[in-house]
Structure 1
């Protein structure tokens, strides 16, 4: 009779180990399922068109550097930004726009037409702009060429 008592003893360890393994496999299966259903678009549908546009942008920046530095100076006391084009553009018809870009809040972005004075400068009031980081992007054309400059400023 003693041998039958040993066979009737019950332990939970094998069942606990099997349950833990089944739960772990279920977790991994759920993880794989979610990962496989994730939408990952590393390349846009019009990749080549965007690449050509980016190359045009690089050429604009290169032309701007070759023509001379476009100065963007922020004056905190006067609450103004002074934009100054180089003298190499004197006498040319210049059209363009100034984009005040706020990286943290696109609702605050502003676009201002480029209206240069005789000295190739423009003064922009900053009293209504929120304090913080801004990017001043100047996109303009002179003659048959297009130019681009970007400068980051901190409005205080």
Structure 2
């Protein structure tokens, strides 16, 4: 049987489409290639983004910045000494970009000048830390990425 140009082109296009479809189905059905979104409520967070920018600017204007120190007990998050520990209200959110089941949130309740995140809650790897706190109706925001 002799194949002319038109038939050859049609066979090549069908073979190429089958090849592409095979990889699309393989990638979408395999759990190995499953990645979580960074945020489930992306659009709601986008609406309050200007407030986050203002809070981050407020934190950047402080004389003493929030610092994070790794110790044997875990992560110690130090807040500015300009404020009393009773004034600081907020939350610390730690999330793993690779696994959302490891994400957790801790309310800020200070007895000293620092907040301790226990060692047993933190696995080795990359963590993103978001510290949101409020003092006298003024919001502050601190973000940092760290490899633990």
Q: TM-score, normalised by structure 1?
A: 0.66
1:109 corresponds to: 103
2:6 corresponds to: 18
Structure 2 matches for 1:40-55, cutoff 5 A?
A: 51-55=46-50
Encode CA deviations 1:110-137: one digit per residue, 9 max, x unaligned.
11110112x4312221124222111221
Encode CA deviations 1:89-113: one digit per residue, 9 max, x unaligned.
2376221111121111000111111
1:98 aligns with 2:92: yes
2:115 corresponds to: 122
1:71 aligns with 2:67: yes
Distance 1:92 1:63 in 2: 19
The answer as to whether partners of 2:85 and 2:110 remain within 8 angstroms in 1 is no
Task: Name the CA shift for 1:19/1:91 in 2 (closer, same or farther; >3 Å).
Answer: closer
Could you tell which deviates more after superposition, 141-150 or 79-88? Answer: 79-88
1:152 aligns with 2:145: yes
The answer as to whether partners of 1:92 and 1:142 remain within 8 angstroms in 2 is no
Alignment equivalent of 2:128, drawn from 113, 135, 139: 135
Distance 1:50 1:134 in 2: 20
Q: Which 5+ residue runs of structure 2 have no aligned equivalent? A: 21-41
Task: Name the CA shift for 1:25/1:64 in 2 (closer, same or farther; >3 Å).
Answer: same
* Number of aligned residues: 125
Distance 2:95 2:119 in 1: 13
